[in-house]
Amino acid sequence: MSNSRTPEILVTGGAGFIGANFVRRRLASDPGARVCVLDALTYAGNRESVADLESDGRLHFVHGDIRDGELVLGLLRERSIRTIVHFAAESHVDRSILGPDAFVDTNVVGTHELLKAARTVWLDEAPGTHRFHHVSTDEVYGSLEPDDPAFSETTPYAPNSPYAASKAASDHLVRAYQHTFGLETTTSNCSNNYGPFQFPEKLIPLVLMNMLAGKSLPIYGDGSNVRDWLFVEDHCRGIEAILERGAPGRVYNIGGLNEQRNIDLVRLLCEVVDGRLSGDAELAERFPDCPASRGDRCDSLITFVKDRPGHDRRYAIDATRIENELGFRPVETFETGLAKTVDWYLANGEWCARIADGSYREWIDRQYAERTETFPNQPKRVAR
């Protein structure tokens, strides 16, 4: 079933956190839009996150790997695709420390397979309008000291984790395909996202699901590392602005204008959950192990654990370029975004239960068992 009004786009990693939000938003905002999702459904991919969209024929789901060059070539040719929005990646820093190989395979080799296929079809076989948008991260710029200026698009690359290094390598390949072959590419380097459908290995959904289950909230080191947080729908709006108005070859930083210390963020999240559960008998009954259901505070679950090796101190984004050139600014505040996120996780118990199955819990428990050793002189509490 095809609708000829809007050309179909290829979204890699569309069953992951940000990809699923992007696909949902695109199909909801344009009745003529069609999307082909290519996703390998790794531990982080969930077809359920987009399954409800498949019924009207506007979403075509392909269970496959971006490293499969023949598959990608076939999709570009047969579905006449002229736009790729590339989210697919191994995305978790802690996993990249435990096992870097998958990060090089997917993030570097996988991105290169996509670029090769795009070059073959869009430049050699059927030249014309096209766009390869590469979704990347602020982690490629390394770590900031407290008084350093925020990352801009001209900040030199200094990736610190295997994850960041693999994303940096993929950014360089995208740049090289634009510069050398004339492939029309754009890249966005974004700060930490949060919101619906995020896999609960990342800080916000992990501590949220743990507090609802009455489990400890692990804070790495002393909790004073700083991240810039962006509500996922704002990230998707930023990517849309780049697709619509961004110049080929241009790189855009996307940020939330919202720097938070981890400990402050977790305390704020605890307050939101305390507020939701304390006055709601039905929620308290659904989450009997959450301290807030007994009138206690969720921050009683905070536990400081061994730090992440090479843990970056601070990320911050200078988003002047995307604001001045494309008129993009995030619309959510941290308070409104967190409230929407908490409400989504409270309302989507089935999604959470499917994710938090045996293998997930096993991984999390093993991961945190290794972190029980605490830092010497580690504070039990960090001042508010």
43 has catalytic annotation: no
Sign of the Cα torsion 80, 22, 347, 91 reads: positive
Residues 24, 47: Cα–Cα separation, whole Å: 12
Q: Verify binding: residue 202, ligand TDX, rule CB under 6 A.
A: yes
List Cβ neighbours of 277 (8 Å cut-off, separation of 6 or more). Answer: 283, 284, 287, 290, 292, 293
Residue 159 near which of ligand NAD, ligand TDX, none (CB within 5-8 Å, type-dependent): none
Residues 107, 184: Cα–Cα separation, whole Å: 20
Q: Are 199 and 17 in contact (CB under 8 A)?
A: yes
Q: Verify binding: residue 165, ligand TDX, rule CB under 6 A.
A: no
Q: Verify binding: residue 262, ligand TDX, rule CB under 6 A.
A: yes
List Cβ neighbours of 56 (8 Å cut-off, separation of 6 or more). Answer: 1
Nearer to ligand TDX, 142 or 218 (CB): 218
Strand partners, 227: 260
What would the DSSP string read from start to end of 261-276? EHHHHHHHHHHHHHHH
Structure tokens at 19: 């990809």
- For residue 331, give the nearest of 257, 268, 243 by alpha carbon: 257
Q: Verify binding: residue 188, ligand TDX, rule CB under 6 A.
A: no
Segment interacting with ligand NAD (CB under 6 A) among 36-44, 72-80, 174-182, 208-216: 36-44
360 has catalytic annotation: no
Beta strands in the chain, from DSSP E residues, in sequence order? 9-12, 35-39, 59-63, 83-86, 131-137, 185-190, 192-194, 217-220, 226-231, 251-254, 259-261, 302-305
For ligand TDX, how many residues bind (rule: CB under 6 A)?
16
Sole binder of ligand NAD in the list 17, 132, 231, 315 (CB under 6 A): 17
**Residues within window 103-132 making contact with ligand NAD, judged by CB under 6 A:** 106, 110
Q: Are 213 and 277 in contact (CB under 8 A)?
A: no
Nearer to ligand NAD, 66 or 292 (CB): 66
**Residues within window 54-93 making contact with ligand NAD, judged by CB under 6 A:** 65-67, 87-91
Segment interacting with ligand TDX (CB under 6 A) among 27-35, 50-58, 212-220, 353-361: 212-220
Q: Are 105 and 67 in contact (CB under 8 A)?
A: yes
CB of 284 to ligand NAD, least distance (A): 30
Q: Verify binding: residue 62, ligand TDX, rule CB under 6 A.
A: no
Q: In terms of DSSP bridges, do strands 83-86 and 259-261 run parallel, antiparallel, or are they unpaired?
A: unpaired
CB of 300 to ligand TDX, least distance (A): 17
Q: Verify binding: residue 227, ligand TDX, rule CB under 6 A.
A: yes
Q: Verify binding: residue 332, ligand NAD, rule CB under 6 A.
A: no
**What number of other Cβ atoms are within 10 A of residue 125's Cβ?**
11
Q: Verify binding: residue 86, ligand TDX, rule CB under 6 A.
A: no
Residue 67 near which of ligand TDX, ligand NAD, none (CB within 5-8 Å, type-dependent): ligand NAD
- Give the length of the chain: 384
220 has catalytic annotation: no
Give the CA count within 13 Å in the CB-facing half-sphere of 367. 21
17 DSSP 8-state letter: H
Structure tokens at 162: 């295997």
Q: Which residue has the closest beta carbon to ligand NAD?
A: 16
Q: Verify binding: residue 186, ligand TDX, rule CB under 6 A.
A: no
Q: Verify binding: residue 199, ligand NAD, rule CB under 6 A.
A: yes
Structure tokens at 158: 């200094």
Q: Verify binding: residue 91, ligand TDX, rule CB under 6 A.
A: yes
Nearer to ligand NAD, 62 or 326 (CB): 62
Segment interacting with ligand NAD (CB under 6 A) among 148-156, 192-200, 307-315, 333-341: 192-200
Segment interacting with ligand NAD (CB under 6 A) among 54-62, 142-150, 190-198, 304-312: 190-198
Looking at 138, 184, 228, 299, which residue is catalytic? 138
Which are the catalytic amino acids? 138-139, 163
Q: In the complex, which residues of this chain contact ligand TDX (CB under 6 A)?
A: 91-93, 137, 139, 192, 202-203, 206, 218-220, 225, 227, 262, 308
Q: In the complex, which residues of this chain contact ligand NAD (CB under 6 A)?
A: 12-13, 15-19, 38-42, 44-45, 65-67, 87-91, 106, 110, 135, 137, 167, 190, 192-193, 199
